Structure 1
């Protein structure tokens, strides 16, 4: 049976035992197969090489050379390798894997006639789908497979099957991505992932958990997976769709989870933006560990500016001694057996090797003396990359496991010296047991070992990519995910070491749907939008927010109030109407002044008590009225100053009783005048009611009723000192609580009732002769009194704090002053300024 199609590229080195390698180096660009004829083998012109991945091949070869030159590892055993390319498709991957278990150049499954073709393990592949294709076959033979890229989803696999992941855990990476976003408060991001099973798993296991940690997704977009079919137009169309999503989004941070070559598609975005004559705005890219910064040949002149400032989770890599010298020594004219080099060399350097079959060769001629170190970073790197480091460690893990197995057999077999390792091939399936327990330090001092799941116990570096002026780039390690500590402590980062895209002017980029709601406001969700998108609303009256992005404002304590910015609670001022403040001092001054005036009027009346104007209208009622008015004015002083128990008890009750006495006196004086004139009529029966007893009875009975109301008030629910913390926003008011508002309004209502009766009676007696009665003046004084207290009620109910007390004092002074002025000022005018009118003859003449 002939080989159906010879390997397009192969790199082979013979040995007693060999390691198989599946590289991901070349894409084959072709048209779709119609299955109507046998497709011809692809030509090298159809190769699109990911030149950077050539280092993966060199890393495997370098590790094998080191082991063969090291007398302490696998002595007397030569390690070889056989490397094929997967070409990123299933056909070639299956064919190459079957070739590992067959005689070279003869693809006959399960048949092998070459005793030196002893496969001990397979390393590969880079992408999960390729690894799955390899695993499908090597599982049959129990051959260990070490995957250096993303592990495939193999739900049907059991722990006993050969499967080892030489790259760090996906869980460690997912936690690292989450911690990175939270560290920089990037809560509004876009997500781009490759359209395969691993991409879907990443979205389900990591991205869908982001909202639980306060991170919103602006959009989630799939990136097309590459194939051998030429579908560039479709990919560009999809790239335009992603570009439109980025333009429409306000996010500045984008998470990319994809294949190793996904960066080549990201590099299209600035080009598409330029084609549409729109400027490319700087973004922060967060790249998953499997993505390498590479480029296709047609992107040779494209600058890598898009990656400037990006943050990448990278497989930890170290500089192994001699690797760069090994790479620098590579040349097509000196190295034999490397079937990958010529195609790599031509595409990496943009030249063509002479072909005697072709007469005309366009372009530059490859001399073979070109220097690999001159290549730009996206095409090739001299220092070992993360994936190359994983391959290097995989080779050493196989060698150490093989040596441990050999040592173990020597201990249990007496004839081991007669059966060297190369003759124990039939038992190499037992290598799994030793691979699981392998543990060693590589040449860079890094420890290599597997956990119970067959995953390498290794950390991840967080790398900041910086583009230089010559369009090359280099890595700066700015953080790490440490696998040897708890996950919540594994993340570390040095923010000061990060260089951001110039668009952000070297300040920490923001990536939020809505800028922070500053203290003094709270978030208001937008209907139909993610929870990261909201409006900022000023805190309502009486509430504050003292932190950014609070969901709701909170109330201050009872003894505090919000400041003007509504971001801090300020202690309230304790306030009451005091003598020290202007308002209290003025009211106290008026009260004392009116009291002094009342005392002077009383003195004047006492001095002129024999004059007709004093004797008229019941002299004793006049003195009682003046004394009650004097006490009314002095009662106002009880309302000024800090509320005390005694003051609170006396304020309303004393004023109510004293003022009732005053109004009762006015009523008695008016009734006395009316009865006196009615008694002068012939045959009138009113004469028996005229006299001091009737007046005293009116005053006493009316006053006792008010006193009774006040007694019930004090007995049932007396006033008491209280603290009001709610009426005003900025003050704690010390006040007298009325105890029972109903009783308070009863006292006021009764005074109003007396005033109304006095007003009606005085109004009816207003036409009696002026010289003998005060009805006109009493009418006017009662009109003033009623007006003041009618105005007091709405004012009392509408204002707060110490101004309630001030209004009450003003009402007391105004109504009492109205009585004093309207009734007694005209009489004082006659007594003091017109004494000639204050005689009996004059009064008799006026009345007659």
Structure 2
């Protein structure tokens, strides 16, 4: 029991202490405690719904003392930026216009709270948090803040880096943020930035727009300058990726400009630009970086470059108003934010007076603007805020009497995007408040009400907003929160008086087919070159037809050599990556840009060689006919009768066939000529050689008869035996030819192996074995005839023709022995010519050697063509010989 009491008492004390703490701290009705307030307020206006805004009213900021010995002070800003102040005024004008529009948000007053980000990430981030959380302490009931959210949405930021940082936080709480100047393509990532929207196209589209300009002018070789932030780095990655995918160009170099004015680094970058062969320079940079770079460009007098400007500095006045830059920047082409018209804005700006806004915590920014514009100061001068000289500002100065770009509403670009952003939020809010009960998009088909608006509810309607501006531009957001993209293409015109004018020369927009479409008025473009024409910027000149590109080792793909297409391949396009092979029956022309039909080649009747061979064949046929006629006419003379006239007639007929079959080898090969030529050739020559062989054997038989015991030899060589022998020997060759044609018939063939640019028409032998057997059989008979004739060559000369046969067959064998290796090694139609030549040579050899001497005797020496002369010293043999030869 004693041990239990201390524990019980301890629990009671703890419960009592908690109750006392709850009662003393007013848990049920307490307020949020602000850590601090943000005082860089531009202007504020109350309303039923509040929209926030972040604008760069100053260029620079001063960092407070961070020793933490005392409470940190608020940052201070200096370097008044008129354009940023005008952008803030444009938002105020748009909201006033909406409040005065009875058809848009009726019975709802829209207010605003605008902050100065001083072009500084930390200040802009703090301003965004102040807008989202509010500047006043909120009452808490049952752990819930009472009242409307401080702002329903925020218009801003200008910088991609600041937009990334702020959207990362606002996206967690689904607070809409609509930027009018942040272009980084990374902000299109809906997973990271679910509540981010923008009325300016992303850099992804700007990059593709620049690629369209490069493509339009044929600039495939360019340098790239970027800033060392998200704007420049993402643009560089996107540009390199798009160029790689499209194949439209390459980057000669990528240089990152330093944030500060690093003279050595800038000098190095300019040296790179001078040494590069790229004559086009793309600059994705901020204005301040461009000014620093141009100081060094002017110092080194780097001319002859064509500048392509991003929207960050295309239409800015600071560079344009520096005359010393114009010899280098004149003719610049750039991408600019879409220009728009905002009716009534100038009149609104003229109504601004510093004394009208002191009660709205608006005096500081207006005082800075008034002092900057009129170069005066208010008395007493706010510490650290004086921009003007020693004159005293009255607040009654007339804006129309001063030359200031603040009132120039003829070239509204960022302001036009601010105007569209405010109206996008207004239309989304109007759609949300027009929701019909029980038909809403939220849980239970509920609708949002003016008394219980939540920022995340506005996101649903903002994604579906769709309206037209007074200028006629359609405003809607895609699934990534990006607006329908459109850019103006600007050109820097250098006027004769030394002044510069930025003129609109076209536009780039997305077509209905989701592709970038560029429209340029080239007649209006000013080129800052002596030729007054676009500069040529390529790493390698385009390859003409007939050549293909071969990339240089270690160089970008735009740097290449033009290599002529190899034989048989062509390309008829410029900059071809490879050559195309011609069809089988075609060949490349000398220029390698067209395929032309291949030259056909065969042993033609109309070429010199074919004409000569044809003439020789016909001449041989004619001579055979004449000799045959002579022999028939003188068939009863002793010289004809003594040499076996029937076999002589057969030899002449077979020789005539040999001469004629050579014609089958001339002319374009056909199926029937291929099949017939070798068969006719083989049979004709076997018939001829068979007759000669039989004649030789008859002479040998007669020779044996003249010897004792040889009287029975001639009975085996009578007329019937001679005819039978010739027929038998010839039929063997006919059988060989038949087997060859049946098993593997020769066919016409288009041969392209000898010469690629020619088609050699030839006859394939079909079966090499068949062709070899055919030639071997002829050779065997020829050798046998030669050997027998050689044995009987010493018989009496008066009637013995063995010596003539020996000499004839020697020529025949020599021709065909030489034919085989020459035929095998001869290309194309020369193989046919060799075979024809062998046929003609062997035929003429036999004709001349066998019948030449006889014709000489018959025609020129008829006195010795007598029985007595033929008998001579071999008269004793004549009777026996005549028995078997007549």
Normalising by the smaller structure, the TM-score range is 0.7 to 0.9
SS in 2 for 1:558: coil
Measured in 2, the distance between the counterparts of 1:333 and 1:790 equals: 125
The structure-2 alpha-carbon separation of the partners of 1:744 and 1:297, relative to structure 1 and needing over 3 Å to count, comes to closer
* Worse-matched range after superposition: 698-707 or 183-192: 183-192
Deviations 1:367-402 (A, max 9, x none): 9966346x9xxxx97533432211122233445556
**Residue 540 of structure 1: SS of its match in structure 2?**
coil
Residues 441 and 448, structure 1, Cα contact 8 Å, conserved in 2: yes
Cα offset, 1:710, TM superposition: 1.5
- Structure 1: gaps (5+ residues): 347-351, 358-366, 413-422
Choose 89-98 or 625-634, whichever is displaced more: 89-98
Which residue of structure 2 lines up, in the alignment, with residue 317 of structure 1? 339
1:715 corresponds to: 742
The structure 2 residue matched to 1:301, chosen from 305, 319, 323, is 323
- How many angstroms apart in 2 are the aligned matches of 1:178 and 1:667? 90
Larger Rg: 2
Deviations 1:664-713 (A, max 9, x none): 33444455556655765x55759826984486676455434323321321
Question: Aligned pair in 2 of structure 1 residues 815, 728: CA closer, same or farther (>3 Å)?
Answer: same
Alignment partners' CA distance in 2, 1:37 and 1:221: 46
Contact 1:26–1:88 under 8 Å retained in 2? yes
1:280 aligns with 2:303: yes
Q: State the alpha-carbon separation in 2 of the partners of residues 117 and 159 from structure 1.
A: 23
Work out which of the residue numbers 779, 782, 801 in structure 2 matches 1:752: 779
Contact persistence 2:314–2:334 (CA under 8 A)? no
Q: Is the 8 A contact 2:51 2:152 kept in 1?
A: yes
* 8 Å Cα contact 1:328-1:371 kept in structure 2: no
Q: 1:476 aligns with which of 495, 498, 504?
A: 504
Determine helix, strand or coil for the equivalent of 1:444: coil
For the residue of structure 1 that corresponds to 2:368, the secondary structure is: coil
2:8 aligned partner = none
The yes-or-no answer on 1:833 pairing with 2:856 is no
Task: Give the direction of change, closer, same or farther, for the CA distance of 1:663–1:142 in structure 2 (3 Å limit).
Answer: closer
Which residue of structure 2 lines up, in the alignment, with residue 86 of structure 1?
Answer: 117
1:21-64, CA deviations, whole angstroms, 9 ceiling, x for partnerless residues?
422355439999997999999999x84x7776565345335535
Distance change >3 Å, CA 384–CA 805, structure 1 → 2: same
2:486 paired with 1:460: yes
Rounded to whole Å, the distance in 1 between the matches of 2:304 and 2:711 is 107
CA RMSD of aligned residues (A): 5.4
Aligned to 2:26: none
Aligned 1:35-50 pairs, distance under 5 A: 47=79
Distance in 1, Cα, partners of 2:855 & 2:438: 137
1:491 and 2:517 matched: yes
Q: Which of 91, 95, 102 in structure 2 is aligned with 1:60?
A: 91
User: Residue 473 of structure 1 aligns to a residue in which SS?
Assistant: strand
Aligned to 1:688: 713
1:394 is the counterpart of 2:421: yes
Partner of 2:142: none
Is the Cα contact below 8 Å between 2:157 and 2:180 reproduced in 1? yes
What TM-score, normalized to structure 1? 0.75
Deviations 1:302-361 (A, max 9, x none): 334665665544433322234467779999999982524655888xxxxx943379xxxx
Task: State the match for 1:150 in structure 2.
Answer: 182
Could you tell me whether the CA contact under 8 Å between 1:282 and 1:504 is conserved in 2?
no
1:545/1:75 CA distance change after superposition, 3 Å: closer
Residues 163 and 659 (structure 1 numbering): CA distance in 2 closer, same or farther, change over 3 Å?
A: closer
Distance verdict in 2 for CA 1:481–1:720, change over 3 Å: same
**Aligned-pair CA distance for 1:545:** 2.7
Q: Could you list the per-position Cα deviations for residues 122-180 of structure 1 after superposition, in whole angstroms to 9, with x for gaps in the alignment? A: 32211122224545776799764321122676799979975432323555556656666
In structure 1, the partner of 2:847 is 820
Q: 2:198 touches 2:421 (CA, 8 Å); kept in 1? A: no
Task: For residues 475-534 of structure 1, give each alpha carbon's deviation from its aligned partner in whole angstroms, at most 9, with x where no partner exists.
Answer: 435343237x3424x535457568474559577776655444433333445555555544
Alignment map for 1:175-194 (pairs within 5 Å): 176=209, 190-194=223-227
Match of 1:125 in 2: 157
What is the rounded CA distance, in whole Å, between the counterparts of 1:574 and 1:161 in structure 2?
Answer: 72
Structure 1 range deviating more: 702-711 or 330-339:
330-339
CA distance in 2, matches of 1:723, 1:411: 85
Task: Tell me which of 377, 390, 395 is aligned to 1:355.
Answer: 390
CA deviation map 1:101-132 (0-9, x unaligned): 899xxx88879xxx999756432211122224
Q: C-alpha separation between the residues in 1 aligned to 2:805 and 2:138? A: 132
563, 579, 586: which one aligns with 2:589: 563
8 Å contact from structure 1 (residues 561, 730) kept in 2? yes
What aligned pairs does 1:571-610 form with structure 2 within 5 A after superposition? 571=597, 584=610, 586-610=612-636
Quote the Cα distance in structure 1 between the aligned partners of 2:501 and 2:63. Answer: 35
User: 1:339 — aligned with what?
Assistant: 368
What SS does the corresponding residue of 1:392 show, helix, strand or coil? helix
Instruction: Check if 1:637 corresponds to 2:668.
Output: no
Change (3 A) 1:673 1:529: farther
Distance in 1 (alpha carbons) for counterparts of 2:492 and 2:95: 33
Partner of 1:742: 769
Residue aligned with 1:601, SS? helix
Which aligned pairs between 1:242-257 and structure 2 lie closer than 5 A?
A: 242-243=269-270, 245-246=272-273, 250-251=277-278, 256-257=283-284
On the 8 A contact 1:101/1:119 being kept in 2, the answer is yes
1:195: Cα distance to partner? 3.2
Does 833-842 or 84-93 show the bigger shift? 833-842
C-alpha deviations, 1:176-215, integer Å up to 9, x for none? 5666666777665555444334555555666435434435
Distance between the aligned counterparts of 1:390 and 1:555, measured in 2?
Answer: 56
Q: Could you tell me how far apart the structure 2 residues matched to 1:156 and 1:563 are?
A: 54
- The structural deviation recorded for 1:656 is 0.8
Q: Distance in 2 between matches of 1:525 and 1:383?
A: 49
TM-score (norm 2): 0.73
The whole-number CA distance in structure 1 between the counterparts of 2:328 and 2:69 is 44
| Aligned-partner Cα distance in 2 for 1:540–1:742 | 39
The offset of 1:653, in angstroms, is 0.9
Q: Which residue does 2:254 correspond to in 1? A: 221
Question: Residues 761, 203 of structure 1: CA spacing in aligned structure 2 closer, same or farther, 3 A cutoff?
Answer: farther
SS of corresponding position for 1:125:
coil
Aligned residues, how many?
797
2:733 is aligned to 706
What is the match of residue 195 of structure 1? 228
- Map of 1:28 onto structure 2: 60
Write the distance in 1 (CA, Å) between the matches of 2:107 and 2:540: 68
> What is the alpha-carbon distance in structure 2 between the residues aligned to residue 232 and residue 806 of structure 1?
86
